[in-house]
Chain A
Amino acid sequence: TQLLEQSPQFLSIQEGENLTVYCNSSSVFSSLQWYRQEPGEGPVLLVTVVTGGEVKKLKRLTFQFGDARKDSSLHITAAQPGDTGLYLCASEGGTSYGKLTFGQGTILTVHP
């Protein structure tokens, strides 16, 4: 089972600030997913990165996949209180897309 190290565990920032969350592994990812989870809900997929060096943007969120496919980052520009939640990176195991190993998660709180 691939181990994912996610950091930081907690982030508390003011509205308008930028932030970056990191996800690393000692082994190569076949692909890497980022999810966001709000209280009382299940995780919702934000993006999947597959190609080394890939950069994907989703409004104010920028996702990067390392060239060696061992690390990924999520950068949020000008954070808003609506960005508050638990952010999770995950990798797929075996032959099933739904069998996921998750990082420890980053609890983000954006204060107005």
Chain B
Amino acid sequence: SAVISQKPSRDICQRGTSLTIQCQVDSQVTMMFWYRQQPGQSLTLIATANQGSEATYESGFVIDKFPISRPNLTFSTLTVSNMSPEDSSIYLCSVERGGVTGASGAFFGQGTRLTVV
């Protein structure tokens, strides 16, 4: 199994500022994924981050608002830019379970609970 560490675990931020969330995996992975979970709701995929290329964003999410870095095979960051209260959510990173085993599904970090005031 993969161990995923996210920092910070929670933060309260002022509107108009930006927050960068870090995700560290204990093994090398090709793809990392960023999800958003709005209060009381399910998870929605923001983007897929591949090492060495630009992230691929899902419909409704743009790079200017959610820039992503992927400098190596064990680390990624997601920045929430120019925040508004509507950005208050839990942000989660994840990786595939599979690798050489071909197992389906994903491992998730514990999430970053963001509150924008």
A and B associate in one complex:
yes
A residues touching B (Cβ–Cβ < 8 Å)? 6, 31, 33, 40-45, 48, 50, 88, 90, 92, 96-105, 107
CB distance from A15 to the nearest CB of B (A): 24
Q: Is the CB of A100 within 8 A of B106?
A: yes
Chain B: interface residue total (CB-CB under 8 A):
28
Bound-state CA distance A20–B33 (Å) is 30
Bound-state CA distance A40–B8 (Å) is 12
**In the complex with contacts A33-B105, A88-B43, A98-B94 CB distance below 8 A:** yes
**In the complex with contacts A41-B111, A42-B110, A99-B33 CB distance below 8 A:** yes
- Excluding A97-B104, A101-B45, A102-B42, 5 further A-B contacts by CB distance (< 8 Å) are A42-B4, A43-B108, A50-B104, A90-B105, A97-B98
Bound-state CA distance A40–B110 (Å) is 6
A-B contact pairs, 28 of them (CB 8 A): A31-B104, A33-B105, A40-B110, A42-B4, A42-B92, A42-B94, A42-B109, A42-B110, A42-B111, A45-B105, A45-B106, A48-B104, A88-B42, A96-B31, A97-B96, A97-B98, A97-B104, A97-B106, A98-B48, A98-B98, A98-B105, A98-B106, A99-B31, A100-B43, A100-B45, A100-B105, A100-B106, A103-B42
Contacts of B44 in A (CB 8 A): 102
- Count chain A CB atoms within 10 A of each CB in B42, B44, B97, B110 and give the residue with the most: B42
Q: Which of B24-45 contact A (CB under 8 A)?
A: 31-33, 40-45
**In the complex with contacts A48-B104, A97-B106, A98-B106, A43-B96 CB distance below 8 A:** no
Is B21 located at the chain interface by the 8 A CB criterion? no
Q: Is the CB of B31 within 8 A of A98?
A: yes
CB distance from B106 to the nearest CB of A (A): 4
Contacts of B100 in A (CB 8 A): none
Contacts of B104 in A (CB 8 A): 31, 33, 48, 50, 92, 97
Bound-state CA distance A43–B108 (Å) is 6
